[in-house]
Chain A
Amino acid sequence: MTRVLALESFPLANADAVVARARSGDPEAMEQIFRAFQTPVYNLARRICRTVEDAEDVLQETFLEVAKSIGRFRGEGSLWGWVRTIASNKALMRLRRNKYRDTDELHDEVLPTRKEDRHLRMDLEAALERLPEMSRAVVWLHDVEGYTHGEIGAMMGKSVSFSKSQLARAHVRLRGWLGEEAIA
């Protein structure tokens, strides 16, 4: 059973105390952080990565990094915001490492171009899945997680314009695949 999460805040009772205990190496505190954030981290990773296995790897890498770096978390932003940035970076790193088909040109070659396919209606989930990896990552990080184009560009090692153009192309594609009328 799935449910929609309010992605801006995840309750972690006594977050400051839990973080302090995690800094001192308390494994129970680390487990509390893991339990509080494992689902949103996995969800983010799964939306960006192609496979369940990659998303699971990102989940593990994220919490290992959290354990290594918790001493550097100063509590200036929310704990979830900090964990989410680690997860986003790990997911993008995984995309680069796997050398997925992340260029539009290559992806276009494998997309169906027959007239009847263009009229095929998809649901949003399937359409999102069908986007090229980098485009999908930009859509998810910008439209759902709320990162700015500047932040996304920095995470990807690309420019702001790259992020903006990827988002625009992705929305044009989503519009077509969802069977929405394009403007004349």
Chain B
Amino acid sequence: MSTDQATETPDSIPETTLDSVVIRFCGDSGDGMQLTGGQFTETSALFGNDFATFPDFPAEIRAPKGTTFGVSGFQVHFSSESIYTPGDRVNAMVAMNPAGLKVNIQDVEPGGIIIVNEDEFTKGNLAKCGYIDGYNPLDDEEINNKYHLVRVPMSRLTKESLADSGMGAKDINRCRNMFALGIVYWLYERPLEQTKAYLTKKFGENKGLPEVAKINIRALEAGYYFGETAEVFPSRYRVPPAKLAKGTYRQISGNEATVLGLVTASQKANKPILYASYPITPASSVIHGLAHLKRFGIKTIQSEDEIAAVCTAIGASFAGDIGVTGTSGPGLALKGEAMGLALMLELPLVVVNVQRAGPATGLPTKTEQADLLQAMYGRHCESPVIVVAPRSPSDCFDMAIEAVRLAVKYMCPVIYLSDGYIANGAEPWKVPSVDAIPEIHITHPTQNDIPEGSFKPYTRDPETLSRPWAIPGTEGLEHRLGSLEKEAETGNVSYDPDNHDLMVRLRAQKVANAADSIPLLEVNGDPSGDVLVLGWGGTYGSITTAVEQVRAKGHSVSSAHLQYLNPFPSNTEEVLRSFKKIVIPEINLGQLSMLIRSKFLIDTIGINIVKGQPFRVDTLVERITEVCEQ
């Protein structure tokens, strides 16, 4: 948090202007922290700040109340500058209960503001989160010295401010989060209008509970006025709007962008998408989003299991829709055999994989990048597929379109590797003009294209090596696809050894050919030098921010980020060989490193941290600096 200036306002509360602030809201998973954080973000977005968010919540919907494993958090970084990450160090935190404080306090910067609901710091609640009997962190001298601790009896004040509302104690108690939000809105000079409108719509219009909307709004205002009158803060803070390029903006999360990208691809291809999926965290919100878009011709099917989902998508592609399935790592494992079928049949298929921490059930709500090798090699025998990876929430839009484009152009499966961090995180997005997005050209042969009786389903386009996509219902092109090895051209079953060798190579070459239609790898910074930091997927924001900081210290360091993992962009080797050292930060134990070493015989230095959390910029700065100074 950098301070530009401090001015005295007429009512003698100083105002401080800051470039950027990181706030974290935390509390019990029933405390409404995701909603609270989401509202602060929405308001900041409309105010004109750049922002990045990081929702962090447990897998349990309602873990036992007051426990540390039931803590839900929402971090938002908002700024008057361009930012790429939700921030490492928390400048201000709202903790609705002792468990929230306990779990999150180590992330708050020394001197940072911590606003607690002191009513929740009861003997029972302190015991629930494992504090020893008689200890209350709010009375801890060390904590009070290190942080600016603001104790607010939020439960009592909320109750008192709504005492005359005539509403029940339960409804009133649920308004505490809005009281807390009101305080923070006052502290950061945010307008209340957006949240008031939201509450009116959510409770009043959508749920038919105007009284609930009313008390939430009153609690929000009560919190705001409390900030104004209680004089417990040393200053108010102002983060001016960012200088963003002209245009229409919206807030977008990765999964929302994936949904919009798929719909756009469907429209641009003039073809329905059939999305079949089995619910799984953190991918479920993709099918939730698509299920509402029937008016765009999107078909969604909640399948009975992961395998059914991918197979239904394959069946849909055979019949002429664009078959898409979505899942997370455990589901990708289950879909492996069917993806092999799709590449044998040479039908388009998009597999959305929103990666999460594992193996097995692992940490379902936490992020990881450890499915890269599964995406590359997680099928039996020689079974290459195209692999793409969006690098930020908004990039999910572009890469979802790319996944569809490549699947139909090369008639093969495409795995789309998003992750829990960018799927749930949000940022502002300059809304593109749909007219400027290129069409996706698809042709299905008809009898007129083929002299009678000679349709061969495995003839190939000389440029792409794709086979024709003839669909059932087309007169005269009846043919059988199958999982048994195909004879080149005719597609008949063939056990011929030379034919198998040929087909294995053709399928591999076809995927390799996709390099001809993907963009080159761009370098951020000098195109050659001492160190290149190479990343892929959702770590783009952290890596870009860290590399810029290290470069600002005078080091010769650039970054490059792979959105296409198979095939790699055709200039990848050239880029890598322009630097003395290649550093690869990944949220796994070195999977991209393994691919780069094996493909190019270029050594790499890994930065591998697998904690279920996105990279911290300061950690990357430290580790990259070490390499630069060696």
**Same complex origin of A and B:** no
B residues with CB within 8 A of A: none
A residues with CB within 8 A of B: none
